[in-house]
Structures are given as structure tokens and as C-alpha cells.
Structure 1
Amino acid sequence: MNQAYIIITTVILMLVITKSQAVNDTISDVSPNCLKCICRVESNCRIPRPLCHVYRGYDTCGPYNINKKYWTEARSRGRQLGTDWITCTIEMGCSERAVQGYMARYAIASRLGHEPTCEDQARIHNGGPYGFRMSSTLSYWHKVEMCLKYRN
């Protein structure tokens, strides 16, 4: 009886902790307009020819210029991104799911100190997990911002 009580209490505590973490880290998907503008800044939303090129020392591929590390980290958030990084970047839908997965990992309120915005998401996309803090990503954000203004 004592063991059953401990097990039940432990399970309840785990559920409460998991629930509170889920509330604090709500996943804020990248809005369609923000996603489209990131795509436009990256490649004018076209599958590039050649598909991949070197950017900042990494091979990046597809309309969102996704590198293998970005894709791997996006997959860790449970997104269905296929089994191959390059094949995913050829497909617009898979590339968009990769961006959403990456943001689900890094553009969260508990990391940012506020609810994620398109600016945060664009700067993280461009500069990695801490891109939202880096001055080097501001010029990228301004390009996305101009696109957003044009779209609205």
C-alpha cells in the first residue's frame, strides 16, 4: 500500500510538472506571413539552382537555406521531416516544417523572456539559437520587416 501511494504521487507530480512546462513553453508557430517573408529573403521562395551552397561555413540547401544541424535540431521537436536532410529541403512543405520545428525548439517564451515575435523567429532562423540577441541579425530582420510591410 505504501509503494502504491508513492508511485501514484510520483506520477501525479510528473504530470503536474509536465503540464506546467507545457504552459510556460507554448509553441508559437511562425505565422504564414512571417514564414513567407523569411522564405522571400532567403531565396525569393524558389528552389535554388544549385540546391545547396556554402554559407558561413555550412552547406545550406533549399528555399530556406537550411543546414544539416538546423534540420537535425528541428527533427528533435517531433516534426516529420523525412530521413534525409537534402531531400527535405527540396520540398517546400518539408522545409517549412523544419523552420517550424526549429522555432518550436528555440523561439519559446522561456528562452526569450517574452512571447515570440516574427522578429525573434527571423533572427533565430538567420543567426541560430541566440540570433534574437545578436546585432548581426538586425539587417536580416529589417529585410523580413520590409517584406511584411509590403505584404500588409
Structure 2
Amino acid sequence: MFVKQAIVLILVVFTAVEATSCLRCICDHESGCKAIGCHMDVGSLSCGFYQIKLPYYEDCGEPGKRAGESVTTAWKRCADDYNCATGCVEKYIKRYSGNCGGVGECQRMSRLHNGGPSGCKYAGTVGYWHAIEKCCHCS
């Protein structure tokens, strides 16, 4: 019984380390992991550390939004705050991870981040995944 619990604990820790490494690589890829403000990307604004778009911010639950604050102001502020932006990405990935079966954790994270809720179904997200994979050496 103890061996089984130890194996489960090791797998949980490994998955958490891989997810952290993967997020850092996504952040590096998107902005050099810096608060870079907003830039036009494929016809709409992408902001901050992870170059988050407004619908993505809304889908992750609008973290950090203050009472009476517009969603646009909250999104731009959150995107340029590393902890808020990272929390948003984690919530977004968790929300849509069921749409991405049969792939490793980092591939799921990368393709959902890049391609949206159905990112694992789009061939266009494979190149993005390979760029992240080279950084983190994960699956």
C-alpha cells in the first residue's frame, strides 16, 4: 500500500513540475516572460506575459477584476501581472482540458493556450506545441 501511495505522490509532483516548466516556456515564447502590454495579433489585441486575448480572460473567470471595473481594464491589468496572468492561464487550461484527450500535459496546455478550447483538434497548433516542447523538453 505504501509503495502505491509513493508512486502516486511522485506522479503528482512530476506532473506539477512539468506543468510549471511548460507554463514558463509558454510565457517565454509569448513575451520573453515580461509585461509587454497589448499588441495586435491576428486582428485583435493580445496582452501581457502570455499574450492573453479578451475572450480568453473572460473564459478563465476574469481573475482580479475589481468591483465596478470594466472587464477591459481588468484584463489588461491582469495580463501584465505575472501571478494574475498565470492563474488565468491555469484556470483556462483546466476548464478546457477535457477537450484534449490522448496527449501529454504540456502538449495539452500549449495547444489549448494557442488554439482555444478546441486547440488540440487544429493542425495549426502543432507548430506552437513543438516550439514549447523544445523549451521544456516535456510531453
TM-score category, normalised to shorter length: 0.7 to 0.9
Change in Cα spacing, 1:113 to 1:140, as seen in structure 2 (3 Å) is closer
Q: 1:57 aligns with which of 31, 43, 48?
A: 43
User: In the TM superposition, what whole-angstrom CA distance separates every residue of 1:97-142 from its partner, at most 9, and x where no partner exists?
Assistant: 010110111013xx33347621011011001111111111111111
Considering only aligned residues, what root-mean-square deviation do their CA atoms show, in Å? 2.1
Separation in 2, partners of 1:96, 1:32: 10
User: Aligned equivalents of 1:115 and 1:81: distance in 2?
Assistant: 28
Partner Cα distance (1:65, 1:81) in 2: 15
Q: Is the 8 A contact 2:33 2:49 kept in 1?
A: yes
* Counterpart residue number, 1:148: 136
Q: Unmatched 5+ residue regions in structure 2?
A: 1-14, 66-73
Q: Which runs of 5+ in 1 are unaligned?
A: 1-27
Between the two proteins, what is the percent identity of the paired residues?
34
Could you list the per-position Cα deviations for residues 8-31 of structure 1 after superposition, in whole angstroms to 9, with x for gaps in the alignment?
Answer: xxxxxxxxxxxxxxxxxxxx8771
Q: Is 1:81 paired with 2:63? A: yes
Separation (CA, whole Å) in 1 of partners of 2:92 and 2:110: 11
SS in 1 for 2:129: helix
CA distance in 2, matches of 1:137, 1:148: 17
Distance 2:93 2:30 in 1: 16
TM-score (norm 1): 0.69
Residue 104 of structure 1 aligns with which residue?
94
Q: Distance in 1 between matches of 2:136 and 2:50?
A: 17
- How far, CA to CA, are the matches of 2:129 and 2:102 in structure 1? 18
1:2-151 aligned at under 5 Å gives the runs 31-48=19-36, 51-75=37-61, 81-83=63-65, 84-108=74-98, 111-114=99-102, 117-149=105-137
Give structure 1 regions of 4+ aligned residues with deviation exceeding 2 angstroms. 111-116
TM (norm. structure 2) is: 0.75
